[in-house]
Structure 1
Amino acid sequence: MPVLPEIDATAAELSRIFRDLHANPEIGFEEVRTSGIVAEKLREYGFDEVHEKIAGTGVVGILRGKGAGNRRIGLRADMDALPITETSGLDYASQTPDRMHACGHDGHTTMLLGAARYLADSRNFDGTAVFIFQPAEEGLGGARGMIADGLFQRFPVDEVYGMHNQPNGKPNRAMICKGAAMAGASFFDITVKGKGSHAAMPQQSRDALVAASALVGQFQTILGRNMPPLEQAVLSVTQIHAGSAYNVVPETARIAGTIRFFKPEIRDLMQSRMREICQGFELAYGLQIGVEFREIFDVLVNDDTLSDEWLAAASDIVGDANVDDTIAPFTGSEDFADMLQVVPGAYGNLGHAGTVPLHNPGFVLDPEILPVGASIYARLIERRLPLGNAA
C-alpha cells in the first residue's frame, strides 16, 4: 500500500500548513499561534472533542470511530521551535528573528493533522483515537507538563505512538530501535567562585577562570577512566562564562552542559564523579564550587511488540524493503520518553532527502515526507483499532 490516496489528495493543503508553521515558529510554551491553528483545524475536520491550554499551549483532539470499541490509541506530535536564526534560504523561512523550526516539529504537527483529517473523514476504526499536540519538547518539559496537567487521566490511552523526521538522505526509510532507543539527559550548572584581582597581579587572586578551564578537561576523564568500557554515555560542556574586562581576573566562572546515558546507574556514576572532581578542585585551587544537576529527559524505551506494530504500519506505506528495526540506540534525547514511562508505546523515525543535521540553522525538512508520515499515523489507528474487532 503506498501513501493513502485520500491523504495524497490533500498534499497541497499539508504543504500550506507546513510552510505557514515554518515561517512562524514559536519556542516552548509560547506556541499560542501554532496551537490555535491546530485546534481550529481539528474543529474544521469535525473532531468530537478539542481541548486546549493543556500545560499552557498543548492541544488534545478526540476522535471516535465507527465501531463502539473501548480501546483508545494515542498519537503525539511536538509543536515547538528552537532559539536559532535560520540560514536555509527557503522562500518560507522563519519570519521571526532567533526562532526556527530547526528540528522539524512543524513537519510533525503537519503530519499528525494530515492523519487527523483523513481519519475524521473515514472513521474506519473501532474505538477512540487521541491526538496529542505537545508543546515545549526541546528540554523545557512539555511532556511532563501535560502529564502533570492530567493528560492520561483526562484522556486515557492503551498505547501511544510518536515519530521523528531524520535528515539522513534516505527518503521514506522507516526505522525504529527496540528497547532503550534514546538517551536520558541531565543538564548541569557549575559555579566556580574564587577571588578577583587586577590582571597585572594575579597572585592576589583565586582564579575562577583557570579552575573552570581545568575542570572542562578533567570531566572528560570520567568517560575514559570511570565508565565501564561497554556502556554508552556522553558528557559535553557546552557553555563557559567568565570575566568582563581585559585587566580583571574574574572572581566567578560558570560552566554548563549535559550528560547523556541509557541507565540510571551510569547517570549516578557520572554525577558522583563530577561532584568529587569539583570537591578536589576546591581544595587544590582554594575556592568554592557549586554543582547543580537537573533531570531533563528519561531514557526512551520502546515496547518490543508495539515497535513491531509501528513498523507494520510503516511497511503498509513505504514497503517491507524500507523498514528497519536494527538501528542502534541514539544518544539524543526526546521527552516522549516521559509519556512512555506512563503508557506503553513506540517512537520511530522517518528518513527524508535532507542531509543538513537537526538543530542546524540551515536544516531543511523535505516536505515530500508529509503525506508519508500522515499515512503511517493513520494506518496505526486502522491497524490497532480494526473495524469489527472491539477486543
Structure 2
Amino acid sequence: MNILDSLVTQAATITAIRRDIHAHPELCFEEKRTADVIAARLTEWGIPIHRGLGTTGVVGIVKNGTSDRAVGLRADMDALPMQEFNTFAHASQHAGRMHACGHDGHVAMLLAAAQHFARQRNFDGTVYLIFQPAEEGGGGAREMIKDGLFEQFPMEAVFGMHNWPGGEVGKFAVSPGPVMASSNEFKIVIRGRGSHAALPHNGIDPVPIACQMVQAFQTIISRNKKPIDAGVVSVTMIHAGEATNVVPDSCELQGTVRTFTVEVLDMIEKRMQQIAQHICAAHDAECEFEFVRNYPPTINSAAEAEFARQVMASIVGEDNVLKQEPTMGAEDFAYMLQAKPGAYCFIANGDGSHREMGHGGGPCMLHNPSYDFNDELIPLGATYWVRLAEAWLARPAP
C-alpha cells in the first residue's frame, strides 16, 4: 500500500484524538465538545475554520495557490443513543451514548488529512474539510446545506467515506449509482371498537385487521414492484391491547420502507395507503395513515465514482478496490449528492481482531454495543483523502 509516510508518523497522535472522541460521544446536534476538539486542532495547524452550519458543524478551509477551484471532503461526527458494552480505557464515559458506527474514526481520518494539508499543500485550489453533525437520524447534511454550505463554500464535487466491518483492512469499495437506500417511516392507527373478548361480535377488532394489513404490504414487494427493483417494507412495531379479556379499541403499526429510487418509493407509499384504508373500510374500521420520508437514496455520480476508484487503486492496487454492494442502510450524505456531484465509498474495517482487551462479547459490526473503529485505518483513509483532493485539483476543471 502506498500510504503517505507523514500520516504513518502522526498516526499515534490522531489515534489519541479518536479515542478521546470515542470516550466522549455526543448525539445529533449536541456535538459541541467534538466540534471544539476539531476546531482547536484545525486552528492549531493554521487552518481557518467556520462554525455553526447545521448547529454544530465545522468547516476547515485549506487554500493554496491562485486557483478558484475547490473540492469538499466530509466526515460525520455524531454518536448513537445506545449503551456501550466495551470496558477498555477509551470506552464511552456517558451512559446511553456510544460511537457505535465509527464516526469518531471518520473524524480522525479527516483530521489526519487536514494535518498533512497544513504542512504540505501539494495542490492549487481549495480543500473544504466538512465535519458534519447529526447523521444518525437528524439530517445534519440537509441542515448544513440549508444554512448555506455550498453557497458559502462553493465546490465542484463532494466526497464521503464510511468504514465497513468484515472486509480485510486495505480494501475499498466504490461504485456508480445507488449505494445506500432511502429511509422512510410509517405509522398506521387502526381504530375499531372495543368489546369483551368473549363477545367479539359486539366490537370491531383491530388486531386481525392489522394482521391482514401486515401480510398485504408484502404483496407490494412481490406483486406491484418490478422484480429487478429493490424495495423493503418492514413492520417493526405493533401495539394493541392492555388485557387478555378485552378487544382493544385501536392497534398501531409502525415500521420502515427502503428503496433505491424515488419512483419505487412513490409507488410503495401510494399502495400502502390504499391497502391500509381499504382493509380498514372492509371491516368498518377507521384508518389513520402517516408516511414520513427521511433520507433520500445515496446515489454516486458515475464520473466521480470512477475518479475515486482510480485514486484508491493508486494506493492499494486494482485488486483491492471492490465493487460497492448497495445496502438498504441509509445515509444523509445523500443530500449532498443531490446538490453536488460526488461519491460515497466504503473502507474495510477488518474482522474485529483489532479490538483490545475489554471489548464486549458481540461482533464488531456497525450499531453493535461491542463495536470499535479500527485505528489501523487512520493513515490509509487519510491517504485516500489527500490523494483524492490533490488529484481532483490537478485534473482539468469539469
TM > 0.5 between the two?
A: yes
Cα separation, 2, equivalents of 1:252 and 1:187: 20
CA shift digits 1:158-180 (9 cap, x unpaired)? 11111010002311211102122
Q: Secondary structure at the match of 2:7?
A: helix
Q: Secondary structure at the match of 1:385?
A: helix
Cα separation, 1, equivalents of 2:222 and 2:86: 38
Q: Is the 8 A contact 2:324 2:346 kept in 1?
A: no
Match of 2:214 in 1: 216
Q: Is the 8 A contact 1:70 1:390 kept in 2?
A: no
Aligned equivalent of 2:185, options 174, 184, 187: 187
Match of 2:42 in 1: 42
Q: Is the 8 A contact 1:354 1:366 kept in 2?
A: no
Match of 2:286 in 1: 288
Matched, 1:339 2:347: no
Q: Partner amino acid for 1:52? A: R
Match of 1:114 in 2: 112
Match of 1:367 in 2: 375
> How far is the alpha carbon of 1:202 from its aligned partner?
3.8
> How far is the alpha carbon of 1:216 from its aligned partner?
2.1
CA distance 1:34–1:199, change in 2 (3 Å): farther
Cα separation, 2, equivalents of 1:255 and 1:34: 37
Aligned equivalent of 2:232, options 224, 227, 234: 234
Q: Secondary structure at the match of 2:291?
A: strand
Q: Secondary structure at the match of 1:367?
A: coil
> How far is the alpha carbon of 1:211 from its aligned partner?
2.5
> How far is the alpha carbon of 1:99 from its aligned partner?
1.4
Cα separation, 2, equivalents of 1:83 and 1:254: 24
Cα separation, 1, equivalents of 2:119 and 2:199: 76
Q: Partner amino acid for 1:235? A: V
Q: Is the 8 A contact 1:126 1:390 kept in 2?
A: no
Structure 2 portions without partners, runs of 5+: 353-363
CA distance 1:90–1:196, change in 2 (3 Å): farther
CA shift digits 1:324-367 (9 cap, x unpaired)? 2x333222221111101111111111002135331222223211
Cα separation, 2, equivalents of 1:30 and 1:286: 46
Cα separation, 2, equivalents of 1:44 and 1:204: 74
> How far is the alpha carbon of 1:124 from its aligned partner?
1.7
CA distance 1:4–1:256, change in 2 (3 Å): same
Instruction: State the number of aligned residues.
Output: 387
CA shift digits 1:134-175 (9 cap, x unpaired)? 111122211111111111011111111110100023112111
Q: Secondary structure at the match of 1:165?
A: strand
Q: Is the 8 A contact 1:68 1:390 kept in 2?
A: no
CA shift digits 1:195-225 (9 cap, x unpaired)? 2344454443323333223322221221112
Q: Is the 8 A contact 2:179 2:326 kept in 1?
A: yes
Match of 2:59 in 1: 60
- Judge which range, 267-276 or 82-91, deviates more: 82-91
Match of 2:393 in 1: 385
Match of 1:143 in 2: 141
Matched, 1:22 2:19: no
Q: Secondary structure at the match of 2:62?
A: strand
Q: Is the 8 A contact 1:86 1:93 kept in 2?
A: yes
CA distance 1:390–1:143, change in 2 (3 Å): closer
Match of 1:13 in 2: 13
Q: Partner amino acid for 1:341? A: Q
Structure 1 portions without partners, runs of 5+: none
Match of 1:82 in 2: 80
Aligned equivalent of 2:384, options 367, 371, 376: 376
Match of 1:348 in 2: 345
Q: Is the 8 A contact 1:183 1:300 kept in 2?
A: yes
CA shift digits 1:11-61 (9 cap, x unpaired)? 1111111111111111211111111211111111111x2111111111111
Cα separation, 1, equivalents of 2:370 and 2:190: 35
Cα separation, 1, equivalents of 2:225 and 2:376: 42
Cα separation, 1, equivalents of 2:50 and 2:181: 31
Cα separation, 2, equivalents of 1:359 and 1:75: 24
Q: Is the 8 A contact 2:175 2:306 kept in 1?
A: no
Q: Is the 8 A contact 1:165 1:351 kept in 2?
A: yes
CA distance 1:246–1:86, change in 2 (3 Å): farther
Cα separation, 2, equivalents of 1:240 and 1:374: 45
Q: Secondary structure at the match of 2:68?
A: strand
Cα separation, 1, equivalents of 2:247 and 2:34: 47
Cα separation, 2, equivalents of 1:370 and 1:179: 27
Q: Partner amino acid for 1:58? A: G
